Amino acid sequence: MIKNISNLGDAAVYCDFGKDVNREINTQVIKYFKTIQNKNIEGINNLTPSYNKLIISFDLKKTNYKTIKKLIENLDINIHKDLQSKKKEIPICCDESFALDIKRLEEKLKIDREKIYENFFKKNFFCYMTGFIAGMPFLGDLDIDMRVERLETPRVKVPKGSVGITEQFANIYTFESPGGWNIIGNTPKKIFDNSKEIGPNLINPGDTIIFKNITKKQYKDYNE
């Protein structure tokens, strides 16, 4: 449940669900997010769920912090209702030309690449949130022996489709973007479709994701 509600500037409510990052807390965040979204509350113009926070933005011309805060405090959240989550498979190619940071990972983790990939592909990932750039999913959790820091100096350009890891998380770069995650492969699949107004994101918070290893030939021949 929400531990603390405060204001973030003059046009947003900041809901803090506690300091930990885990599925249980994140599921709470997602349930609040979905409940508020379905209510279409006058004045609310954006919602940003993340690991353990929910930020509610509103139009200061139409409402204010006090009003929205009260509304959230009195919200009836059905915490027992199941999340409607989907299971999706994402093909990735781990050819050396895509796996930009595999050497660094071998050195940092002191595990050889075969084992790194074995650990990665056997995981069922949970989508905590999407964002930063359009459609980018933040997936967890990697085992403790697979966790590594971001690059000391982020790349100016990470290629579109890159799959990266850092700490307990994996993500997918839906567009070419600056970024500091350790890149282990690349997916030919469209993760964000900017031509679709409904459901442009392939992966949504609460979804389960498994990655499938494909060859460079399969990558080249990939057709959606």
Report the interface residues with another protein, using CB under 8 A. 6-12, 14, 19, 21, 33, 37, 45-55, 57, 60-61, 64-65, 129-136, 138, 174-175, 177, 192, 194, 197, 200-201, 205
Q: What is the DSSP letter of 135?
A: T
Task: CB nearer to another protein: give 113 or 160.
Answer: 160
Distance in Å, CB of 217 to another protein, minimum: 29
Q: How far apart are CA 2 and CA 54, in angstroms?
A: 9
Task: CB nearer to another protein: give 8 or 83.
Answer: 8
Task: CB nearer to another protein: give 67 or 213.
Answer: 67
Distance in Å, CB of 215 to another protein, minimum: 30
Distance in Å, CB of 160 to another protein, minimum: 11
Distance in Å, CB of 52 to another protein, minimum: 6
Distance in Å, CB of 182 to another protein, minimum: 16
Burial of 190 (0-12, 13-18, 19+ CB in 10 A): middle
Task: CB nearer to another protein: give 135 or 214.
Answer: 135
Task: CB nearer to another protein: give 54 or 92.
Answer: 54
Both tokens of 176, joined, read 């070419």
